[in-house]
Amino acid sequence: MLNSYIINQLKQYQTPFYFYDTDLLHKTLFAIKEAASLFSFKLHFAIKANANKNILSIINDYNIGADCVSGNEIKRALNAGFPAHNIVFAGVGKTDEEIKFAIESDIFCINCESLEELEVINSLAGLLNKKPRTALRINPNVDAETHRNITTGLNSNKFGISVDDLQYIVDHFLEYNNLLIDGLHFHIGSQITNLNVFKNLCYVVNAIQKKLKRKNILINHLNLGGGLGINYENPENRIPDFQAYFSIFHKYLNLLPEQTVHFEPGRSIVGQSGMLLTRILYVKSHGSKKTIILDAGFTELLRPALYQANHKIINLTSQGNLENYDIAGPICETSDYFGKSITLPQSKRGDLIAILSAGAYGESMASSYNLRSSVRKYFLNTLAEEQREKILTKL
Ligand code: LLP
């Protein structure tokens, strides 16, 4: 995608900036919609991965709902045109104002994360004279085999209702009479690359459903969250294998008749469509070690500093001999590195560098620490309007 014409265009912009390939985004959306529709699965894009308004408006064209974790995300989704009846709302610490806003907006479902929260939603719904649809987010204690900071489904994590509290809710089910307890929700973590993990999740979901059925509690929908990983090492494999992912759930989930199945993908939809463009400010030497200082830091892309994530880094403007570099940002923090001992063609001040696979949790996690300016964004868009129409009508 980065041919010399595009690189010459990119050189004209002030760095750092995000650069989104919306053609790839369209292709990825087409692939996930096609795979999900094989099994009649429903999708809600996890807005936390990328809340950029242009990106959201493209995603909304594919008739995918939104997964939100704050009142402001719900507002952003509604403003981007996502219909309320396709919005779900999770989050371990919803405020009363956010819950009231969600109830009054008539969103599809509030995914409740604790017994206490269930009681709060029940009483706020009573005050508003409404009966919102809710799902119980259960902590299934399934290891997602991913980085510890993005693992959410273990007993030691703060997320979801414990199996003990679920038992209490089951015993007092009829007391939550201002709520329509309609779903079970799970999200065990992010950047999951071992699909067997999802098989393990299905086994736990089946066991819980069996228990509820014995108590005559019938659940209309299951929401399995997000989590499918992308290939950071080889971003050339740009579209995740959505069919393999959904097939696991199709094969291993025991569904009740009429039960619908929902997912909340984030990273797998937008991850490969974005990159961070930055220039080399300085190349420093400490003995034999060379350190590149970029004009982007963890204020623009936090993932390497926070999760030791490896994003592929390429020098777009040098063809020199290969050398080893540590690659750092300008932020006054020791953790502000994008990589250590990275091989690049001989690099110098002014070279344009691309940090790949940054479309998810890049722009959305940017901060103004050190009073940095907010990061710019540009979009590549070469698909002709009529091609786009074709893609959309094929769905
Ligand atoms: N649903 C819920 C309830 C979530 O908490 C998340 C992500 C998702 C869906 C979407 O997961 P995905 O499909 O994107 O894996 N900042 C971290 C990732 C944090 C994910 C938080 N929750 C990163 O950059 O790796």
Query: What element of type H or E holds 18?
Result: strand 17-21
CB of 187 shorter than 6 A to ligand 1 = yes
192 CA closest ligand 1 atom index = 15
CB of 311 shorter than 6 A to ligand 1 = no
Q: Would the pLDDT of 389 be above 80?
A: no
Question: In the structure encoding, which two tokens stand for residue 344, read together?
Answer: 């690049």
What is the tens place of the pLDDT at every residue in 181-190? 999 999 999 9
Distance from the CA of 211 to the center of ligand 1, in angstroms?
28
Per-residue pLDDT at 233: 95
Q: Would the pLDDT of 173 be above 90?
A: no
What is the tens place of the pLDDT at every residue in 296-306? 999 999 999 99
CB of 90 shorter than 6 A to ligand 1 = yes
What is the tens place of the pLDDT at every residue in 343-361? 999 999 999 999 999 999 9
Q: Are 187 and 151 in contact, with CB atoms under 8 Å apart? A: no
Residues whose CB falls within 8 Å of the CB of residue 393, separated by 6 or more in sequence, listed in order: none
CB of 45 shorter than 6 A to ligand 1 = no
264 CA closest ligand 1 atom index = 9
User: Quick one: pLDDT band at residue 147, thresholds 50, 70, 90?
Assistant: confident
CB of 137 shorter than 6 A to ligand 1 = no
Q: Would the pLDDT of 394 be above 70?
A: no
Residue 1: closest CA among 23, 18, 29: 23
DSSP state string for 29-97: HHHHHHHHHHTT-EEEEEGGG---HHHHHHHHHTT-EEEESSHHHHHHHHHTT--GGGEEE--TT--HH
Distance from the CA of 288 to the center of ligand 1, in angstroms?
39
What is the tens place of the pLDDT at every residue in 277-330? 999 999 999 998 999 999 999 999 999 999 999 999 999 999 999 999 999 999
Q: Would the pLDDT of 127 be above 90?
A: yes
Between 327 and 162, whose confidence is greater?
A: 327
Distance from the CA of 72 to the center of ligand 1, in angstroms?
17
- Residue found by looking up tokens 């010399």 in the block: 4
Per-residue pLDDT at 393: 66
Distance from the CA of 260 to the center of ligand 1, in angstroms?
22
- Residue found by looking up tokens 């199709």 in the block: 250
- Average pLDDT for 231-248: 95
Distance from the CA of 122 to the center of ligand 1, in angstroms?
27
Pocket test for ligand 1, best of 28, 32, 44, 48 (most atoms within 8 A of CB): 48
365 CA closest ligand 1 atom index = 16
CB of 229 shorter than 6 A to ligand 1 = no
What pairs with residue 328 in β-bridges?
A: 293, 337
What is the tens place of the pLDDT at every residue in 11-51? 999 999 999 999 999 999 999 999 999 999 999 999 999 99
CB of 366 shorter than 6 A to ligand 1 = no
Pocket test for ligand 1, best of 92, 161, 267 (most atoms within 8 A of CB): 267
Torsional class of 371: left (φ above 0), alpha (ψ -120 to 50), beta (otherwise) = left
The C-alpha atoms of residue 136 and residue 146 are separated, in whole angstroms, by 24
185 CA closest ligand 1 atom index = 3
Q: What backbone phi and psi angles, to 5 degrees, belong to 343?
A: -90, 125
Distance from the CA of 267 to the center of ligand 1, in angstroms?
7
- Average pLDDT for 159-168: 89
Distance from the Cα of residue 279 to its chain's centroid? 27
Nearest Cα residue to atom 6 of ligand 1: 226
CB of 361 shorter than 6 A to ligand 1 = yes
Share of the chain above pLDDT 90, in %: 84
Q: Would the pLDDT of 391 be above 70?
A: no
CB of 307 shorter than 6 A to ligand 1 = yes
Per-residue pLDDT at 392: 66
- Average pLDDT for 334-345: 98
| Preceding omega of 16 cis (within 30 degrees of 0) | yes
CB of 109 shorter than 6 A to ligand 1 = no
